[in-house]
Amino acid sequence: MIEKNEGVITKIGIVTEALPSTLFRVKLDSQEEILAYLSGKMRLNRIKVLLGDKVDVVIDPYGGKGRIVKRF
């Protein structure tokens, strides 16, 4: 049986900039900045993400954008 979250990379970061269409610039713990978008559940439940919020980001394995899945 294949585990659902196999090979998923999650990191914690801080939101540094809010961009249009629910895109955010997130600074990770490794001092790397990436673009991240809100996950579908966060959009459906209308969870607000503001500047300075600590968030959990799932990194795309192909080196693209990240997906914000949790706000602390």
pLDDT digits (tens, 9 = 90+) for 47-67: 999 999 999 999 988 877 899
Domain ranges within the chain, ordered by starting residue: 9-71
What mean pLDDT is reported for the chain? Answer: 89
Contact between 70 and 26 under an 8 Å Cβ cutoff? The reply is: no
Topology of domain 9-71, CATH: OB fold (Dihydrolipoamide Acetyltransferase, E2P) (2.40.50)
Distance, CA of 8 to CA of 16 (rounded, Å)? 23
Whether residue 16 has pLDDT greater than 50: yes
Distance, CA of 43 to CA of 50 (rounded, Å)? 14
This prediction has a pTM of: 0.86
